Chain A
Amino acid sequence: MTVKIPYYPGCTLKSTAKNFEDTARLVAGIFDYELDDLYRWNCCGAVYGLSEDNVMHKVAPVRNLLRVKEVGEKRVLTLCSMCFNTLKRANYYVRKNKDKLEVINAIMYLENTTYDGSVEVIHLLELLRDEIGFSRIKKAVKKPLEGITVAAYYGCLLLRPGEIAIDNMEQPTVMEDLMEALGAKVVDLNVKTECCGAYQTVARKDIVADRTNLIVEEAHKMGADVLITSCPLCHFNLDRRQKDAKERHPDFKPMPILYFTQLMALAFGFSEDKLGFDPHYVDPRPLLKERGLL
């Protein structure tokens, strides 16, 4: 029987990272999960406000958690690392600061209910690891990803701060374990928890171009063919800024950047048109064809 799991999409999953959402739905469907969009949702807050007494910036994430409670659910699934981080940290904050939760609830007086900290925020990677399990995933593989070497890039948002980490903060392995279950060869990327440059991409492309150059270069050195991520912002930076990286570093060699769900959907036998490769700046298709995966 299909399990409907409340799903908070976030803005990029409905726009520039639609291919992440589409492939995540396919992947979840294989294990009888249906991503059930919240009937009403707003921006996650996009960057958690670090100032402890800046309550205003926590209203948006908490309001989304209230939406989950409002429909009688206990947990909410996220795909975007940024949404995951912002929602889970805001949840952690209001659980620790009941007085601030009271203020936030007072601001949200138009709502039919109040929030109490009861919702759990989970990431798809946690669902795959903890509830579905890698052994079930392995059994579902129709087209093992033999022939490609994958490097997993986590960035910061799934792992820091430690209170909300989905894995070991310094040595995460969830994405590597997942890729191994799909039959891919994995490398332990030395820069997998480093910064991609984040929002510097708006005003200081050069910084992000240099970060992209470093991360992709390290991945090449370790023998990787592709990089995977779960963060639309990391994806944008590592994919789109390869153009700028090439301009600043003539020796730069491109590398396809994929969402982990795209490789899962590929391994589960979905056809090329379902995998959402069109929006990629560095087209992964030539490589995947060369390795006999498309």
Chain B
Amino acid sequence: MAEQQVLNKNEEQKPQAKMVTVFIMGQKYEVPEGSTILNAIEYAGYQLKKGLGCREGFCGACATVYRLPGDYKLRGGLACQTVVQEGMYLAQIPFTPAQKAIYDIEEVKPDISTFQKYYPEAFRCLGCNACSKVCPQELKVMDYIQAIMRGDIELAADLSFDCIMCGLCTMRCPAEMAQYNIALLARRLYGKYMMPKPEFLYKRIEEIEQGKFEDEFKEIMSLSPEELKKRYAERDINFKIT
């Protein structure tokens, strides 16, 4: 009887949040509804040293694969951005041991031959689109690989711009390529050799170095806070960049 009372008392102290059941690497856990996968893993007692990073959906360190009840599809997501669902089966993929070519960006040419040399496996793409299906960023992964296969580096750089290099595409690819590293090469080539140069920036840097704005800065620095506020309020916000 006394034991029963203790149990009841403990029950009252449990958090009031509604719980959902998830399976982390096959082990069943009750976690608060609305948690991200990352929070759920930590709530379940795991202390993560790999498989997490920025917690803001930018770094790509917390790639996770999961499946939902009644659905055969293996889905991909970032643990820090994906909310748990009832009956979710999940496992993290903290690292992808993917092929990464070593090259000197000064030495390589911005054309298809560079990809043929460093990533010949890219040309094995079958067009199955398994990569795009799993991409947590919802990128057109297959399309950027296809662009590379025909030497369209600009399109590849553009389509892969939001890649966070989580590695899930590589884990699913029947052609066994590392799409995200291949895309990185495309973006580097685009940035170094193809992107229009910001001429206005070079011009402005030159002007700064020549001291064109020195006097104006000196004047601003000499102003009192009141004068600064007045200047700020009166500033021309429709100025044209020259």
Q: A15-B112, A110-B132, A110-B133 are in contact. Are A42 and B151 (CB under 8 A)?
A: no
- Residues A107 and B151 in contact in the complex (CB < 8 Å), given A40-B143, A41-B146, A42-B143: no
Residue B240 interfacial (CB < 8 Å): no
| Contact A60 B127, CB 8 Å, known A11-B149, A40-B143, A41-B146 | yes
Contact A43 B127 (CB under 8 A): yes
The verdict on A185 contacting chain B, using a C-beta distance below 8 Å, is: no
- A69 to B142 Cα, complex, angstroms: 20
Let me know if B127 and A45 touch, CB within 8 A.
yes
What size tier do the contact residues of chain A reach?
10 to 19
Residues 85-114 of chain A: 1 if any B CB is under 8 Å from the residue's CB, otherwise 0?
Answer: 000000000000000000000011110000
Nearest chain A residue, comparing its CB with the CB of B132: A110
Output the least CB separation between A17 and chain B (Å): 11
B150: Cβ under 8 A from any A Cβ: yes
Residues B132 and A56 in contact, CB atoms below 8 Å apart: no
CA distance A110 to B128 in the complex (A): 11
The listed residue (A40, A43, A57, A63) touching B149 by CB distance below 8 A is A43
User: Which residue of B125, B129, B151 contacts A15 across the interface (Cβ within 8 Å)?
Assistant: B151
Chain A residue at minimal CB-CB distance from B146: A42
Q: B-side binding surface: helix, strand, loop or mixed?
A: loop
Number of residues from B at the complex interface, CB < 8 A? 16
Chain A residues, Cβ within 8 Å of B150? 9-11, 14-15, 43
Per the 8 Å Cβ criterion, residues 58-100 of A in contact with B are: 59-60, 63
Residue among A14, A15, A40, A42 with most chain B CB within 10 A: A42
Chain B contacts for A43, CB-based, 8 A: 125, 127, 146, 149-150
> Are B132 and A57 closer than 8 Å at their CB atoms?
no
Kindly state the separation between the CA atoms of A60 and B125 in the bound complex, as whole angstroms. Answer: 9
Q: In this complex, what residue of A is CB-closest to B151?
A: A15
Give the chain B neighbours of A40 by CB distance below 8 A: 143
Give chain B residues whose Cβ lies under 8 Å from the Cβ of A41.
146
Asked if residues B151 and A108 are in contact (CB atoms below 8 Å), the reply is no
Residue B94 CB within 8 A of the other chain: no
Q: Which residues of B contact A109 (CB under 8 A)?
A: 133
| Cα distance, A43 to B146, chains bound together (Å) | 7
A-side interface residues toward B, CB under 8 Å? 9-11, 14-15, 40-43, 45, 56-57, 59-60, 63, 107-110
